[in-house]
């Protein structure tokens, strides 16, 4: 019985580390897809002048970014963003404002806005992969070590 409880505690500690690691991984995927989307709309607006609805209909992403686009189409973006706990409050507001402004100006202004936003996204992805991802990986490894330590002590 004691062994079982100790294993359970150790696994729980590993799970916490894994969830943190997964959250960062999910965030990186999300922002990578967001960047691809910005590149796509830049072309669609700049060259084809396709309307937003048609552009959105063409998109197919595997990350939760696709859900974001679906919610934007269904006008439930704010609610969706509030539910995404891997995004900070600031990030949620920033994303919401980006989509709020989308399609409201002439193509020159739209493209400038998208290019600015792309730069922001690139910085964010760099920061996430070079710093946050390594940090989360380290934390995950530390939780494994810690769980082993707990396992030995308790046993």
What does the binding site for other proteins look like in residue numbers (CB under 8 A)?
Answer: 45, 49-53, 102-110
Shortest gap between Cβ of 92 and other proteins (angstroms)? 21
Least distance in angstroms from the C-beta of 100 to other proteins: 11
Nearest to other proteins of 2, 53 (CB atom): 53
Give the shortest CB-12-to-other proteins separation in angstroms: 47
Which are the contacts of 74, defined by CB distance < 8 A and separation ≥ 6? none
Task: Give 79 or 112: the residue with its C-beta nearer to other proteins.
Answer: 112
Least distance from other proteins to the Cβ atom of residue 85, Å: 29
d(CA 10, CA 73): 44
* Separation in Å, CA 14 to CA 9, 21, 28, 59, 138: 9, 11, 21, 36, 12
Tally Cβ neighbours within 10 Å of residue 95: 22
With respect to other proteins, which residue has the nearer C-beta, 32 or 50? 50
Tell me the two tokens of residue 51: 């309307």
């Amino acid at each position: 019985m004691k062994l079982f409880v100790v294993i359970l505690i150790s696994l729980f500690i590993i799970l916490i580390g894994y969830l943190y690691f997964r959250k960062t991984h999910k965030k990186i995927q999300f922002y990578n897809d967001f960047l691809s989307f910005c590149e796509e709309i830049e072309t669609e607006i700049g060259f084809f002048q396709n309307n937003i609805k048609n552009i959105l209909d063409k998109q197919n992403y595997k990350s939760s970014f696709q859900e974001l686009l679906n919610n934007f189409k269904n006008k439930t973006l704010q609610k969706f963003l509030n539910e995404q706990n891997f995004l900070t409050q600031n990030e949620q507001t920033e994303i919401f404002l980006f989509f709020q402004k989308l399609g409201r100006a002439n193509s020159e202004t739209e493209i400038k806005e998208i290019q600015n936003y792309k730069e922001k996204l690139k910085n964010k992805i760099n920061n996430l992969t070079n710093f946050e991802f390594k940090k989360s990986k380290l934390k995950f490894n530390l939780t494994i070590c810690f769980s082993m330590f707990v396992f030995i002590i308790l046993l």
